[in-house]
Structure 1
């Protein structure tokens, strides 16, 4: 049976086996070294993704997040992947911010359309088809400019029909613009009407930023040049700063951190660490920020410790998968052997009490490390030892956890009805008994051998049905006020986190 150590220790009891601590704590540190080796060498890239995800739960002010990301963006050498990903976010979420910047430099798009018929048609072909003048995107800009400047540009319009249309006719019948040969007309404007590309009409069509979606790579390159090569680039950086202030820290970290090289991620962590204190006020098992802030406050120049702690506290299930994958290697075997030594050292409940007493005198970052590792050993043992619903219920009883079987996964009785439904419904039970009598009478008329075969088949079917429901059994637990349904798939991770949360709350209460 796995002891979850959920009974609060008696802090003032005299200890008779304190020497055991001198054995267990080094073993826990040894276990941490094995896990750290696994996540920082064999699965470093995956562990970094886990860490970036955890960092998104941290909460800081918009002013501070702006300061951090602007420091990264302004630093040398330029972090091209970071800049590109940030601009892509702006294209997707706030296209108007960059559309307004582009509108001020509309003349630069003359080169964008030059020699590219596909782009011409994409942007300038959306003339209204219902007889109205509600043209879209570049088509609206073109129509407005052509009418306003018909004296200098109308002859550049190319028509697909036998003859052209006059401005007066098109003004009364706007749908005639659908007969324009857009490609040839725009090419004429590129060759002969330079005024169009710097006109208010064309600039206005760019302000909503829709054009950015036509060729992402072109506009990413263009805006990177705006940011880092232009002399007059204040408006570009103003738009970037507005976006970094308005967007949530969670969204920024989830999208941007994965693009950073490790040295740049370390720079980010160093900048972030300045905004946290080295102590914990409270502990919430569902909130990574309660411990991440403490670890970040002591951040040095290596992320290895962060990768370790995040793996054992937040990514227990994924870490378990890595350990099982490594079982064929010496590292995996050594890790399991060390974990076994730790578990044997904790078989006496008083040993854990002594460990907590010792930890209560340590700094919070050391406490988080030790208890995080101990909670993950529980995760591992539960995954290995609790393989059946009965073993889970035995674990609950032995550790003082009240439980209720979820009604939708009730254990079925031998005749195929749930125990709850039999006890709650007398009529159903009565029908079941009558059916049973009829079947029994029929069986008596058959040969004994056939009866035996039928009985064996019925038993096999019942056993199979019982087995399926045993596997799918789920529970409501007192640990969360019976508010959620838990299955054996999620229980190891949930119970381990609950243990860690409980232990941390005891220590925090003692240190006040």
Structure 2
């Protein structure tokens, strides 16, 4: 039976060195196999896992996240890919924040439409027809500007008919703008009416940011030029404001994946300068706690390779086990099975010795070996605990209080629920039995049937509706999480491994 090592070791140091070295040698072999498994088809999925873990950080303040991302954006060489992705986020979430920059740099719009009939028609050709209330987008800006400034631009309007219309006629019949040759008119405005491109009317039409959706790449390139070539204060203010308001999780999920690994390493080092470690018990069980812990104590903690490996073992244990089930990884599974068997055949004191040694050695190595030990634990539980009895034996051996319940689904006849409580709670079990007995008595009174009749009724229902009814697989409520969740054998290997790892991290944190 597996010893989960939930009690902090307190014995003397005598004889621990050999036991620890033996375990570490096995774990080093395991490390090599798992690394080959992770990288067999590239590193992209492992990077995705690591970025997901980073996005879980909860101790980063808005001001800190703003400073970290801005420092990365301003670092050399230029981070144009990162800047483009960030601007795309702003286009999607707060495009109106960029419109005053367009107003100040109106040449951007003039350049956007110059020599591009498709864009001109898409933006300025949305005039209202008969019965419609008003023009839309750039068409509204064009009509309003033309009326207000008719003395300087009305002659630049080009009509499709044999003759044009006067302002007075068009004012009474706005749908006449449908006869406007929009392309030639806007070409005239580009050449002869520069006032239009900086006008309030045009800026009003673009203030919601919808225009950015017409060609995001064009505007992103323009804003990147303002960021890096002109160091525009206005664009950096928009970026800073967005970085302050957006959640850290959202920023990480959208931005980190496009970084080069060297930039991701730089990002983590910058993050470490603002990292504060939480002491709460629930924080230690958080997916990102181990990484936050390392950032706090040692900024140049490890290479990206080591972080990818550690994160996969600590947070993606189930995914690694799924990979091992593939036929192409049968050899890796065999080798890992042999290593785990070697661990099984040696004294459990070896694991305890390793845990104890990790509490007083270099913290980076400590987290590494504790992480691998927890994954081995997950592998062993998956292989060794296949029945409800084996799980309950594990709980009892490791002094974990538990409550078990099994249920039968009887559709149309209600639900018969049988509950039991075990492991240090015999009184609760008796209460549950009494409660069920009272429930059965109430049902008999309700139906006006004696015991035999009631039993016959249940037999009929079962035989007619669910002849092959089977109890659900056992599930347990555990004292490890204060009985807050129901755990089945499907989830227990991963849960127990993570619970053990968080327990060991508490000891490590206190040293």
Q: TM-score, normalised by structure 1?
A: 0.81
Instruction: Give secondary structure in 2 for the equivalent of 1:434.
Output: helix
Whether 1:479 and 2:480 are equivalent positions in the alignment is yes
Partner of 2:424: none
CA distance in 2, matches of 1:439, 1:252: 57
Whether 1:384 and 2:386 are equivalent positions in the alignment is no
Partner of 1:454: none
Partner of 1:369: 368
Partner of 2:498: 497
CA distance in 1, matches of 2:162, 2:475: 77
* More moved, 484-493 vs 372-381: 484-493
Deviations 1:74-93, CA, capped at 9 Å, x for gaps? 33333332121111111112
Please tell me whether the aligned partners of residues 124 and 182 of structure 1 are also in contact (alpha carbons under 8 angstroms): yes
Partner of 1:450: none
Whether 1:215 and 2:230 are equivalent positions in the alignment is no
Partner of 1:84: 84
> What aligned pairs does 1:184-199 form with structure 2 within 5 A after superposition?
184-199=184-199
> What aligned pairs does 1:189-268 form with structure 2 within 5 A after superposition?
189-229=189-229, 231=230, 233-268=232-267
Partner of 2:472: 470
Deviations 1:232-275, CA, capped at 9 Å, x for gaps? 63322332233233333322221111001222222323333444
Partner of 2:428: none
CA distance in 1, matches of 2:484, 2:155: 75
Instruction: Give secondary structure in 1 for the equivalent of 2:77.
Output: coil
Please tell me whether the aligned partners of residues 40 and 304 of structure 1 are also in contact (alpha carbons under 8 angstroms): no
Please tell me whether the aligned partners of residues 120 and 182 of structure 1 are also in contact (alpha carbons under 8 angstroms): yes
* Structure 1 residue 309 displacement after superposition: 1.5
* Structure 1 residue 26 displacement after superposition: 2.7
CA distance in 1, matches of 2:409, 2:254: 47
Please tell me whether the aligned partners of residues 294 and 364 of structure 1 are also in contact (alpha carbons under 8 angstroms): no
Deviations 1:43-97, CA, capped at 9 Å, x for gaps? 5221111111111123334444334333332333333321211111111122122
CA distance in 1, matches of 2:231, 2:304: 38
Please tell me whether the aligned partners of residues 21 and 351 of structure 1 are also in contact (alpha carbons under 8 angstroms): yes
CA distance in 2, matches of 1:55, 1:138: 43
* Structure 1 residue 18 displacement after superposition: 7.0
1:426 is aligned, of 436, 441, 455, to 441
* More moved, 20-29 vs 475-484: 20-29
* More moved, 44-53 vs 116-125: 116-125
CA distance in 2, matches of 1:107, 1:298: 45
* More moved, 330-339 vs 253-262: 330-339
Deviations 1:411-463, CA, capped at 9 Å, x for gaps? 469x99624396423354658842754899x9xxxxxxxxxxxxxx969964x
Instruction: Give secondary structure in 2 for the equivalent of 1:241.
Output: helix
Residue 21 and residue 194 in structure 1: after superposition, are their counterparts in 2 closer, same or farther (change >3 A)? closer
Partner of 2:50: 51
Partner of 1:105: 105
Please tell me whether the aligned partners of residues 31 and 338 of structure 1 are also in contact (alpha carbons under 8 angstroms): yes
CA distance in 2, matches of 1:195, 1:436: 92
* More moved, 361-370 vs 166-175: 166-175
Please tell me whether the aligned partners of residues 126 and 135 of structure 2 are also in contact (alpha carbons under 8 angstroms): yes
Instruction: Give secondary structure in 2 for the equivalent of 1:425.
Output: helix
CA distance in 2, matches of 1:313, 1:367: 13
Please tell me whether the aligned partners of residues 96 and 207 of structure 1 are also in contact (alpha carbons under 8 angstroms): yes
CA distance in 1, matches of 2:307, 2:17: 30
CA distance in 1, matches of 2:359, 2:102: 59
Residue 390 and residue 439 in structure 1: after superposition, are their counterparts in 2 closer, same or farther (change >3 A)? closer
CA distance in 2, matches of 1:126, 1:180: 11
* Structure 1 residue 225 displacement after superposition: 2.6
1:410 is aligned, of 407, 410, 413, to 407
Give the total of aligned pairs: 483
CA distance in 1, matches of 2:234, 2:8: 61
Partner of 1:395: 394
- The gaps in structure 2 that reach 5 residues or longer are 420-435
